[in-house]
Structure 1
């Protein structure tokens, strides 16, 4: 049976892994990763398109300067993407988030297993926890980078907003604001790091205890040596 210290440390790591799993689920379900205001010219007038979206769904509305504001329209992100590069990046982002979700779940499973048993296989112990959390953090980091690239380099917001205006409208400029679901991914990274640090502390404490038990016999008290 695991020692009390091991149960406490791995239970803490299980908690951080579960929190990571839950937050990834929230990020996947969120529809407001970014909000953008895009300015277009339509003939002699100007229009501002306000668009808020995630990786699956979004909503856009248009306001003509000096005119009326159109009702908000919901749309599917992938269905509105005409350019292959944008669509491929969006699919890659979804894939990385799903992989991060699975990695967090595996980390939770490994830490839970270690709170109730001492696995014989090395990978089922700390090494497995390190591996799954490293993978989860890597997938989240890639997600954040690719999403920002899709917006800033590929002008994803402009592409989506163009579906809310006339084909003759001309793009002027845009302002992008990353919302809390996007920044929540930083919290997932911190939780992955926290899980690894907890297990490192346990591993170091176990190593120190083992070294104390393996002290050379010359360091033992002389009256305790039998000839």
Structure 2
């Protein structure tokens, strides 16, 4: 059976990772971004309406009044497949990497629980497994942060969605992007993944230091004593 200290550290790691999974799971189901634009008639500098697109990873809604329009819900993947390829590819990457984050976090939890109940060898089922899975979770979530910002700011995704959903031809200007709670939950998720790594590293460092201290009396003993 593992020591109480080891059990405490690995259970704490599993707990923090479980909290991070809950945060990311909630984030995947809620709103990620709100994009607002002024709109007017084509060829005119006069602004006579507005368009607002709100999106989660799977569902979205539009409020387009330029000056007349409607409020419509839409399926994100369906609509993105009807416009340019780049926004669809980037969005698919965001979703896939987010799912991988959940998968690696789940593996980290299982390995942590296994280590809290037993003493496995230094393999992928030991601390190395926690380091690997939690590190991948943190790194992939960071990539998701970058990809999402790039998709809504550097592509014409929002403009093309408005053109597709609007009742007529419109000219758009003054785009404003506001990231929402689903996006920002990636930050505490990443931080908690790093905390899980730190907990295991702290235990491993303390265990290594303890082993070295136990070996010191033998290493420092006089040669005459070592001969007997």
The answer on whether the counterparts of 1:42 and 1:170 sit within 8 Å (CA) in structure 2 is: yes
Moved more, 7-16 or 151-160: 151-160
Partner of 1:16: 16
Partner of 2:197: 196
Partner SS for 2:155:
coil
Tell me how far 1:184 sits from its aligned partner: 0.8
The answer on whether the counterparts of 1:61 and 1:164 sit within 8 Å (CA) in structure 2 is: no
Q: Which runs of 5+ in 2 are unaligned?
A: none
Q: Matches of residues 62-141 of structure 1 in structure 2 within 5 Å?
A: 62-64=64-66, 70-81=69-80, 82-120=83-121, 122-141=123-142
Q: Which runs of 4+ in 1 moved over 3 A?
A: 218-221, 224-227
Partner of 2:63: 61
TM-score, length of structure 2 as denominator length:
0.89
Q: Which runs of 5+ in 1 are unaligned?
A: none
Moved more, 195-204 or 172-181: 172-181
Moved more, 119-128 or 212-221: 212-221
Partner SS for 1:124:
coil
Aligned residues: 221
Distance 1:45 1:15 in 2: 52
Aligned-residue CA RMSD (Å): 2.1
Tell me how far 1:205 sits from its aligned partner: 0.5
The answer on whether the counterparts of 2:27 and 2:181 sit within 8 Å (CA) in structure 1 is: no
Distance 1:58 1:154 in 2: 18
